[in-house]
Amino acid sequence: MKVFKFGGASVNSADAVRNMALIVKNHLESDPLVVVVSAMGKTTNLLEKLVPGVRCDDVATLRRQLEDYHRTIACALMPDNVEVQQTIDRCLLQLDESIASLSDDESCYNFNYDQVVSYGEILSTSIIACYLKSLGINTVWGDARRLVHTDSHYREGRVDWSATRKAVLSFVSESKRCSVILTQGFIGGTDDGQTTTLGREGSDYSAAILAYCLGAADVTIWKDVPGFLSADPKFFHDTVKIKEIPYNEAIELAYYGASVIHPKTVKPLQNMNIPLYIRSFISPESEGSAIGNYHTISPETPLYIFRDNQILLSILPRDYSFIAEDNMQVIFGMLNTLGIRVNLMQNSALSFSICIDNNPQLVERLTSRLKNMFRVRYNDHLQLITIRYYTQEVIDSIVADRHILLEQRSRTTEQLIVPAR
């Protein structure tokens, strides 16, 4: 069996969905094709603002935008299809009921987040399932909340592999006669039926989880780029397509923030020796990049990863004592409880610095907790740049006249924190 994953950009309009459906249609085989789909376009960002407890002035407008966006796409794809509009009605009703039932207490944020934000994927896959069926493709809709079993670590659910495997195998064996098994990326559920999510951009990971459970032949992630590029073309003109990437290199790159794949995606595939292809949905006939059992990247070239919207917190003991293991334990405890990932850290005797994504709600919560024990200074509007296989020349050209706030260098990797441009 094969697993395909389509991200938000590949289903962000009616035309995009038509294109996606054509790719699916051109790859049907005797075994069902497992298709994992994200929320349409930027829906997840919109839904984040509807989470109870998030300060947002224009909830009604956003709610309307969400509805209009999905209805417009569904209408354009299937003008006279009553069923799809009823499906959208049902999804939105469930979403509204869920929002109304949630407490806006700050301590419920992570739980609330998953209950609300998961509707992006529910909506997209519900519409796309109707569309594939309308094209005559025998499609079954799989509910990832019942397939991908996780613990109750909301916003970053940890997979229960054996329960997931059991659920996935049983669902797939019931669906053997279908051409397409369509399910949601990003979302899962606990044993007692609460919805969880796997972390932002987690749909790639969902595809890997399903592939692992099924022992799939391969996974293809369809993207708006021709493959794995040496840098994000949004930031860089002269990019090179990397044709072959060893599993471990892909894990490192994803960890540093290469947005082309989610950090947790590669490991399950590596464990089962399942190749991961990255291909362009804009030119689906062209060859992309392959992540697999290779020794080195090919071609060999420096790789650049830019992480925007960073904030650097410097944490200092109030009493001028050292930042030691006991303080670190407290700080990491807070980070862990709040589900904040550290992108880079550095310590000295008197201060501990962490670079994290600037999510205002979480940063505010973190700093208010830290301030009980520490002094906290911060710099925001920063960019974290990582260069793998750097040369001094490459670093100089990237830094140019920018002020470096923090720098870390290893044999293979240079990391810099600089003000955003």
Instruction: Name the residues that contact ligand ASP, by CB under 6 A.
Output: 7-8, 38-39, 44, 120, 185-186, 200-203
Q: Measure the CA–CA gap between 143 and 126, rounded to whole angstroms.
A: 10
Q: Extract the tokens encoding 124.
A: 């997209």
What torsion, rounded to 10 degrees, do the Cα atoms 204, 59, 334, 315 define? 100
Q: Of Mg ion, ligand ASP, none, which one sits near residue 52, judging by CB under 5 to 8 A according to partner kind?
A: none
172 and 215 in contact (C-beta within 8 Å)? no
> Please, what is the minimum distance in Å from the beta carbon of residue 121 to ligand ASP?
6
> Please, what is the minimum distance in Å from the beta carbon of residue 319 to ligand ASP?
41
> Residue 145's CB: how many other CB atoms inside 10 A?
22
Task: Annotate 214-243 with DSSP letters as a single string.
Answer: HT-SEEEEEESSSSEESS-TTT-SS--EE-
**For residues 145 and 369, which CB has a smaller minimum distance to ligand ASP in the complex?**
145
Q: Measure the CA–CA gap between 48 and 63, rounded to whole angstroms.
A: 11
Q: Which residues contact 205 (CB under 8 A, 6 or more apart)?
A: 185, 198, 199, 262, 264, 265
Q: Of Mg ion, ligand ASP, none, which one sits near residue 297, judging by CB under 5 to 8 A according to partner kind?
A: none
Q: Measure the CA–CA gap between 23 and 223, rounded to whole angstroms.
A: 12
**For residues 185 and 246, which CB has a smaller minimum distance to ligand ASP in the complex?**
185
> Please, what is the minimum distance in Å from the beta carbon of residue 156 to ligand ASP?
12
**For residues 7 and 227, which CB has a smaller minimum distance to Mg ion in the complex?**
7
142 closest CA partner among 121, 115, 112, 114: 121
Q: Of Mg ion, ligand ASP, none, which one sits near residue 32, judging by CB under 5 to 8 A according to partner kind?
A: none
Task: Annotate 348-359 with DSSP letters as a single string.
Answer: -SS-EEEEEE--
> Please, what is the minimum distance in Å from the beta carbon of residue 120 to ligand ASP?
5
The edge-to-edge listing of strands for the beta sheet with 289-292 is 139-142, 180-184, 33-37, 2-6, 218-223, 276-280, 289-292, 244-246
Q: Does 227 bind Mg ion (CB under 5 A)?
A: no
Q: Does 12 bind Mg ion (CB under 5 A)?
A: no
Q: Of ligand ASP, Mg ion, none, which one sits near residue 290, judging by CB under 5 to 8 A according to partner kind?
A: none
Q: Which residues contact 85 (CB under 8 A, 6 or more apart)?
A: 71, 74, 75
Indicate the SS3 state at residue 304: strand
**For residues 147 and 221, which CB has a smaller minimum distance to Mg ion in the complex?**
221
> Please, what is the minimum distance in Å from the beta carbon of residue 215 to ligand ASP?
23
Q: Of ligand ASP, Mg ion, none, which one sits near residue 188, judging by CB under 5 to 8 A according to partner kind?
A: none
Site string for Mg ion, 109-138 (x = CB under 5 A): ------------------------------
Q: Of ligand ASP, Mg ion, none, which one sits near residue 185, judging by CB under 5 to 8 A according to partner kind?
A: ligand ASP
Among 8, 189, 246, 257, binds Mg ion (CB under 5 A): 8
Q: Measure the CA–CA gap between 211 and 203, rounded to whole angstroms.
A: 12
> Please, what is the minimum distance in Å from the beta carbon of residue 201 to Mg ion?
5
Q: Does 202 bind Mg ion (CB under 5 A)?
A: no
**For residues 203 and 314, which CB has a smaller minimum distance to Mg ion in the complex?**
203
71 and 88 in contact (C-beta within 8 Å)? yes
Indicate the SS3 state at residue 40: coil
Q: Of ligand ASP, Mg ion, none, which one sits near residue 39, judging by CB under 5 to 8 A according to partner kind?
A: ligand ASP
Q: Of Mg ion, ligand ASP, none, which one sits near residue 202, judging by CB under 5 to 8 A according to partner kind?
A: ligand ASP
Assign residue 401 a region (left: φ > 0; alpha: ψ between -120 and 50; beta: otherwise): alpha
Q: Does 7 bind Mg ion (CB under 5 A)?
A: yes
Q: Does 38 bind Mg ion (CB under 5 A)?
A: yes
Indicate the SS3 state at residue 17: helix
> Please, what is the minimum distance in Å from the beta carbon of residue 202 to Mg ion?
9
Specify the stretch interacting with Mg ion by CB under 5 A; choose among 37-45, 98-106, 206-214, 357-365.
37-45
Q: Of ligand ASP, Mg ion, none, which one sits near residue 120, judging by CB under 5 to 8 A according to partner kind?
A: ligand ASP
Distances (CA, A) of 359 to 153, 157, 355, 420: 19, 19, 12, 16
**For residues 260 and 366, which CB has a smaller minimum distance to Mg ion in the complex?**
260
**For residues 201 and 252, which CB has a smaller minimum distance to ligand ASP in the complex?**
201
> Please, what is the minimum distance in Å from the beta carbon of residue 187 to ligand ASP?
8
What does the binding site for Mg ion look like in residue numbers (CB under 5 A)? Answer: 7-8, 38
